[in-house]
């Protein structure tokens, strides 16, 4: 059985004060034991969040890492090694905002994925199509290509220590959620792409859905056979809403 995961991507939000308030709010939530819960603050808040969540069953991840795993001369970047030192166990790679707005190519995403794993971080590989690609009927091909870029270069076995997040770009921050059936179709395709090389591994990999997940839509999405939880943006900034989404992933 795959343990569900619900992850909150706080993106470029928050101040030290608002982050402390959000963590207080999370501490008051009844969170399910059978769900792995993670938050992804901006890098400037990672140390604070790790310290304030110490002893709680919520793990911390970063939103990106450098292509180089170790510290060095790379102004403005944060190495996976430094993220580990700051208390992270996870890191997002290939979020669509980085792919489309900040130029992260499949090759760069693959290097970041490898850098994360080489330091013992678990990468959460984000994949997803734009609205134009969906309308052109290219959804499965786009997602397959993004997945193959990593699996082809690093080998399918790397997904033994990784999580995949399917995030249709048109559903991110728009209030448009993929229907459970639309999401399930893509999740099943991702799993079968991995299964073609290693069926047992494919059965163990967690595939999260992201894109306007709210408490009201979570249970139905998480009820689909290949959806193992969610990567939540806007709704994760509200502790009550995020708590409800976490509970929707529990049994």
* C-beta closer to ligand 13P: residue 147 or 245: 245
In the block, residue with structure tokens 């969906």: 134
* Among 210, 222, 227, 248, contact with ligand 13P (rule: CB under 6 A): 210
Decide: residue 201, CB within 10 A, 0-12 exposed, 13-18 middle, 19+ buried: middle
Using alpha carbons, list the distances in angstroms from residue 199 to 182, 191, 193, 196.
23, 9, 9, 7
| Binding residues for ligand 13P, total number by CB under 6 A | 14
The verdict on whether 45 is a catalytic residue reads no
* C-beta closer to ligand 13P: residue 81 or 211: 211
Instruction: Name the one range near ligand 13P by CB under 6 A: 15-23, 78-86, 99-107, 207-215.
Output: 207-215
Instruction: Name the one range near ligand 13P by CB under 6 A: 83-91, 105-113, 134-142, 230-238.
Output: 230-238
Residues between 10 and 69 that touch ligand 13P (CB under 6 A): none
Instruction: Name the one range near ligand 13P by CB under 6 A: 45-53, 83-91, 107-115, 206-214.
Output: 206-214
- Alpha-helical (H) ranges within 207-238 are 215-222
* Among 211, 229, 242, 246, contact with ligand 13P (rule: CB under 6 A): 211
Contact of 35 with 58, CB cutoff 8 Å? no
Closest distance to ligand 13P from the beta carbon of 157 (Å): 25
The verdict on whether 129 is a catalytic residue reads no
**What crossing angle do the helices spanning 180-195 and 215-222 adopt, rounded to 10°?**
40
173 binds ligand 13P (CB under 6 A): yes
Write down the catalytic residue from 36, 52, 167, 241.
167
Closest distance to ligand 13P from the beta carbon of 237 (Å): 9
Q: Which residues contact 21 (CB under 8 A, 6 or more apart)?
A: none
Write down the catalytic residue from 95, 97, 129, 241.
95
- Alpha-helical (H) ranges within the chain are 16-27, 46-52, 80-85, 96-101, 106-118, 131-135, 139-154, 180-195, 199-204, 215-222, 239-249
DSSP 92-125: EES-HHHHHHS---HHHHHHHHHHHHHTT-EEEE
Q: What does the CA dihedral 239, 244, 247, 248 come to, rounded to 10 degrees?
A: -140
234 binds ligand 13P (CB under 6 A): yes
Instruction: Name the one range near ligand 13P by CB under 6 A: 66-74, 115-123, 131-139, 226-234.
Output: 226-234
The residues carrying an active-site annotation are 95, 167
- Contact residues toward ligand 13P (CB under 6 A) are 9, 95, 167, 172-173, 210-213, 231-235
């Amino acid at each position: 059985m795959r343990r569900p995961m619900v992850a909150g991507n706080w993106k470029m939000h928050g101040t030290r004060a608002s982050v402390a308030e959000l963590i207080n709010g999370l501490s008051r939530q009844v969170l399910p034991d059978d769900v792995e819960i993670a938050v992804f603050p901006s890098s400037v808040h990672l140390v604070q969040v790790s310290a304030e969540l110490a002893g709680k069953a919520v793990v911390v991840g970063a939103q990106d890492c450098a292509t180089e795993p170790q510290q060095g001369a790379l102004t403005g970047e944060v190495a996976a090694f430094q993220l580990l030192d700051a208390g992270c166990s996870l890191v997002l790679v290939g979020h669509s905002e980085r792919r489309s707005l900040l130029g992260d190519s499949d090759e760069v995403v693959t290097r970041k994925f490898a850098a994360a794993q080489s330091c013992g971080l678990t990468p959460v590989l984000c994949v997803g199509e734009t609205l134009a690609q969906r309308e052109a009927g290219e959804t499965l091909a786009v997602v397959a290509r993004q997945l193959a870029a990593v699996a082809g270069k690093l080998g399918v076995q790397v997904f033994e220590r990784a999580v995949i997040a399917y995030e249709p770009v048109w559903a991110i921050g728009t209030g448009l959620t993929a229907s459970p059936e639309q999401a399930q179709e893509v999740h099943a395709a991702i799993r079968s792409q991995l299964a073609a090389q290693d069926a047992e591994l494919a059965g163990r990999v967690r595939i999260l859905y992201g894109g306007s997940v709210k408490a009201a839509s979570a249970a139905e999405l998480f009820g689909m056979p290949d959806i193992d939880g969610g990567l939540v943006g806007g709704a994760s900034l509200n502790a009550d809403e995020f708590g409800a989404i976490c509970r929707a992933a529990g049994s």
